[in-house]
């Protein structure tokens, strides 16, 4: 113990020194292989030290009186607070300072008296026992004061700008696909999803003004060998505060069994909340907790790291356990984006974790983080494969009503349009999933030269997914008995594919050549529709004798009747068919009108002599207007337009 810590008078200190020297001499005397001369010298020195001790003891009586008087003064200052309902640090800085001085004085006296306790001095032992009891009382009070300060001056904070980008409506895989709808979403480039949303933000978990008070309590308690008691109280309060904040974030301590049994809607919400909570807990709360521990205990070696680990490990392990349960669960397609969110969150936080738990005692936290990251990556790959399998294996027993955009198509395209946000991660995870694919795993800058994006692993898998989708859609088109409706269905769905790619960052990964190819595809299906539908209808309007000015009346009447019946049948059927895209619907109506109306107008023009006859059921204008009713998705009745 440092000489300045001694609480006894000078002669008591002298006795302490002599006693220490006496102890050293005895220890040396017990050493083997000493020469006879050296052993004789040590015996003589021991005898001399005993004589010095006797001389000092003769002066000791008055010294104990002084010690007792000093202890009385310290005791009065300490014990008066035992009956006072006020907390010391709430009473003002002078009261706190006086109390700490009294505690420090008592500690010095205890240290000094312990140094003399080798001697059989009854009075000395009584004073030492009394001083130790007073010190014990003071330490208990300081624990209470510490807890009171931490609780009263603890500061909660609300997370700001920390919401995960994945807070969005789920696109849920469903065998019926009836729940999948297009939703207007703001496309967000992955380069804009910066880490600012989860950037480190140190806050004061305890008001800065009371940090010196906490440090002063720590200093006295550690000096008095009550460091473990300080740590226990400090850890208890801060751990409870963290658990309360954990609950405030809405995060629960769930068992693996609870997670595995959870319905997807609930699990999806929990996974999303996990990514958000993990960022806040690690990058804000724990970073702030680490700062507080270092501020209070930074000068005490590994004590700060020990307290931080004890405060944080239960919450961290709770978060890790949830991640483990998710990774263990079934690899369903709809889990993919949530798994990628969790993976990216952990990857982003690894450096923070390695810094926060840099001591050997916390290495198991680092290890579990790295292991969970690997397992989440494996689960994401498995979910990605399951997604592709789900597309390929989806079967329909009946054709989709109206020939519109199939819900499977909506599901797939609405899902994959979010993949560019995860470009770097997907490239990293998928780079070994197919040999020969370019090893393009760096984060794209979306600059003018984006040719490399079309050859990166993610681009390959995107095109593979849409190829599976197209194949499935072709199979579904065969369920329609009407050839024209087959072409309407394929036109709608391939057009939808193209629009989803063109209208998002998917364009960078599919490339312009893919878009041109698929534009030609849906346009070809539009032409095939016109041939399958209107060739037979327009055939009634063709003149088998183009050299003559008009046909016979009977032939004209027969052709008019055939055209009217065919046109009305098409109208009745194809008003039920659906082309959801307004522009595509308008384009096909116009294209059809140009062929049909022109042919009908020419037909009537060549046979003006018969146009007043009742056999002309529909005027040109009526046919033209009626064509505008096609593809609306609901059956309509065609009314006659001519006067009889």
Q: Which domain holds residue 136?
A: 65-159+212-221
Q: pLDDT, tens digit, for every residue of 107-153?
A: 888 888 877 644 556 788 888 899 899 999 999 999 999 999 999 99
The dihedrals phi and psi of 117, each to the nearest 5 degrees, come to -75, 0
The answer as to whether 42 is a domain residue is no
Whether pLDDT at 198 is above 50: no
Whether pLDDT at 636 is above 80: no
Q: Are 189 and 443 in contact (CB under 8 A)?
A: no
| 41-50, 232-241, 332-341, range with the lowest pLDDT | 41-50
CA atoms within 13 A on the CB side of 581: 18
The answer as to whether 491 is a domain residue is yes
Picking from 202, 221, 240, the residue at the C-terminal end of a domain is 221
The pLDDT, as a whole number, for residue 447 is: 46
The answer as to whether 481 is a domain residue is yes
Q: Are 221 and 104 in contact (CB under 8 A)?
A: no
Indicate the pLDDT class of residue 84, thresholds 50, 70 and 90: confident
Same domain, 417 and 532: yes
Whether pLDDT at 188 is above 60: no
The pLDDT, as a whole number, for residue 432 is: 77
CA dist 406 and 372 (Å) reads 38
| 52-56, 241-245, 475-479, 495-499, range with the lowest pLDDT | 52-56
The pLDDT, as a whole number, for residue 253 is: 86
Same domain, 345 and 471: no
Three-state SS for 208-272 is HHHHHHHHHHHHHHHHCCCHHHHHHHHHHHHHHHHHHHHHHCCCCCCCHHHHHCCCHHHHHHHHH
3-state secondary structure of 57: helix
Same domain, 336 and 481: no
Name the residue with higher pLDDT: 431 or 90.
Answer: 90
Top mean pLDDT of 75-79, 515-519, 618-622 is at: 515-519
Whether pLDDT at 51 is above 80: no
Same domain, 423 and 357: no
Q: pLDDT, tens digit, for every residue of 143-185?
A: 999 999 999 999 887 776 444 444 444 555 444 444 444 544 4
The pLDDT, as a whole number, for residue 569 is: 92
Q: Are 184 and 138 in contact (CB under 8 A)?
A: no
Q: Residue 513 maps to which CATH number?
A: 1.20.1280.170
Same domain, 418 and 372: no
Same domain, 216 and 257: no
The pLDDT, as a whole number, for residue 553 is: 81
The answer as to whether 278 is a domain residue is yes
The answer as to whether 638 is a domain residue is no
Three-state SS for 62-111 is HHHHHHHHHHHHHHHHHHHHHCCCCCHHHCCHHHHHHHHHHHHHHHHHHH
The dihedrals phi and psi of 546, each to the nearest 5 degrees, come to -60, -20
The pLDDT, as a whole number, for residue 99 is: 93
Same domain, 270 and 301: yes
Top mean pLDDT of 54-58, 187-191, 286-290 is at: 286-290
Same domain, 351 and 414: no
The pLDDT, as a whole number, for residue 175 is: 42
Tally Cβ neighbours within 10 Å of residue 186. 5
CA dist 170 and 176 (Å) reads 16
Rg, C-alpha atoms of the chain: 44
Same domain, 356 and 328: yes
Domains of the chain: total: 3
pLDDT averaged over every residue in the chain: 83
- Tell me which residue has tokens 């004209």: 556
Same domain, 282 and 347: yes
Contacts (Cβ under 8 Å, ≥6 apart) of 53 = 15, 18, 19, 22
CA dist 569 and 573 (Å) reads 6
Contacts (Cβ under 8 Å, ≥6 apart) of 571 = 626, 629, 630, 636, 638
The answer as to whether 198 is a domain residue is no
Same domain, 362 and 474: no
Indicate the pLDDT class of residue 90, thresholds 50, 70 and 90: very high
CA dist 491 and 468 (Å) reads 17
CA dist 529 and 574 (Å) reads 11
Q: pLDDT, tens digit, for every residue of 554-587?
A: 888 888 899 999 999 999 999 999 999 999 999 9
Same domain, 515 and 479: yes
| 38-47, 90-99, 493-502, 569-578, range with the lowest pLDDT | 38-47
Q: pLDDT, tens digit, for every residue of 313-355?
A: 999 999 999 999 999 999 999 999 999 999 999 999 999 999 9
The answer as to whether 186 is a domain residue is no
Whether pLDDT at 359 is above 50: yes
Contacts (Cβ under 8 Å, ≥6 apart) of 304 = 293, 294, 296, 297, 298
Percentage, residues of the chain above pLDDT 90: 59
The pLDDT, as a whole number, for residue 610 is: 78
The pLDDT, as a whole number, for residue 19 is: 60
The answer as to whether 355 is a domain residue is yes
Closest CA to 402 of 491, 304, 338: 491
Q: pLDDT, tens digit, for every residue of 395-432?
A: 999 999 999 999 999 999 999 999 999 999 999 999 87
CA dist 27 and 460 (Å) reads 80
Q: How far is CA 345 from the centre of its chain?
A: 5
């Amino acid at each position: 113990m440092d000489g300045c810590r001694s609480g006894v008078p000078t002669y008591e200190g002298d006795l302490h020194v002599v006693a220490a020297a006496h102890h050293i001499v005895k220890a040396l005397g017990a050493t083997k292989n000493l020469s006879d001369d050296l052993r004789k010298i040590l015996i003589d020195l021991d005898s001399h030290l005993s004589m010095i001790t006797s001389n000092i003891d003769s002066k000791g009586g008055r010294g104990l009186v002084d010690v007792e008087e000093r202890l009385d003064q310290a005791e009065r200052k300490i014990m008066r607070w035992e009956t006072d309902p006020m907390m010391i640090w709430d009473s003002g800085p002078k009261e706190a300072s006086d109390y700490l001085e009294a505690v420090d004085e008592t500690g010095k006296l205890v240290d000094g008296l312990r140094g003399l306790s080798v001697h059989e001095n009854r009075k000395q032992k009584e004073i030492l026992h009394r001083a130790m009891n007073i010190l014990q009382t003071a330490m208990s009070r300081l624990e209470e004061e510490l807890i009171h300060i931490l609780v009263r001056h603890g500061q909660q904070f609300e997370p700001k700008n920390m919401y995960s980008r994945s807070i969005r409506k789920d696109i849920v895989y469903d065998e019926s696909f009836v729940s999948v709808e297009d939703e207007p979403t703001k496309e967000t480039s992955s380069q804009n999803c910066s880490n600012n949303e989860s950037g480190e933000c140190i806050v004061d978990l305890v008001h800065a003004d009371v940090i010196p008070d906490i440090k002063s309590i720590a200093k006295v308690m550690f000096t008095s060998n009550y460091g473990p008691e300080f740590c226990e109280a400090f850890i208890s309060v801060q751990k409870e505060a963290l658990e309360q904040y954990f609950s405030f974030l809405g995060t629960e301590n769930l068992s693996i069994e609870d997670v595995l049994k959870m319905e997807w809607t609930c699990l999806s919400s929990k996974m999303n909340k996990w990514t958000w909570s993990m960022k806040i807990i690690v990058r804000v709360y724990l970073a702030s907790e680490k700062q507080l521990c270092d501020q209070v205990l930074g000068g005490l070696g590994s004590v700060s790291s020990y307290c931080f680990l004890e405060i944080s490990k239960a919450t961290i392990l709770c978060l890790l356990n949830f991640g483990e349960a998710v990774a263990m669960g079934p690899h369903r397609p709809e889990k993919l984006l949530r798994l990628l969110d969790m993976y990216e969150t952990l990857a982003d936080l690894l450096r923070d974790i390695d810094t926060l738990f840099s001591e050997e005692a916390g290495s198991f936290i680092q290890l579990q983080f790295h292991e969970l990251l690997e397992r989440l990556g494996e689960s994401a790959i498995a979910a990605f494969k399951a997604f592709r399998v789900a597309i390929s294996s989806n079967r329909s027993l009946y054709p989709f009503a109206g020939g519109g955009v199939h819900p499977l198509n909506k599901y797939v395209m609405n899902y994959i349009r979010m993949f560019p946000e995860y470009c770097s991660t997907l490239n990293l995870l998928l780079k070994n999933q197919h040999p020969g694919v370019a090893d393009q795993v760096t984060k794209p800058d979306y600059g003018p030269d984006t040719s490399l994006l079309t050859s990166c692993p993610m681009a390959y898998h995107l095109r593979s997914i849409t190829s599976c989708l197209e194949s499935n859609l072709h199979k579904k088109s065969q369920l329609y008995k009407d050839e024209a409706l087959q072409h309407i269905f394929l036109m709608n769905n391939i057009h939808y594919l193209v629009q989803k790619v063109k209208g998002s960052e998917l364009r960078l990964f599919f490339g312009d050549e893919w878009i041109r190819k698929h534009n030609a595809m849906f346009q070809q299906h539009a032409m095939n529709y016109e041939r399958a539908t209107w060739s037979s209808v327009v055939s009634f309007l063709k003149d088998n004798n183009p050299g003559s000015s008009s046909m016979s009346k009977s032939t004209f009447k027969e052709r008019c009747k055939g055209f009217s019946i065919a046109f009305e049948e098409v109208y009745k059927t194809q008003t039920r068919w659906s082309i959801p895209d307004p522009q595509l619907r308008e384009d096909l109506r116009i294209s059809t009108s140009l062929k049909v109306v022109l042919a009908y107008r020419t037909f009537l023009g060549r046979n003006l002599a018969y146009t007043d006859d009742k056999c002309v059921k529909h005027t040109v204008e009526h046919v033209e207007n009626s064509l505008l009713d096609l593809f609306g998705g609901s059956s309509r009745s065609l009314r006659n337009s001519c006067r009889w």
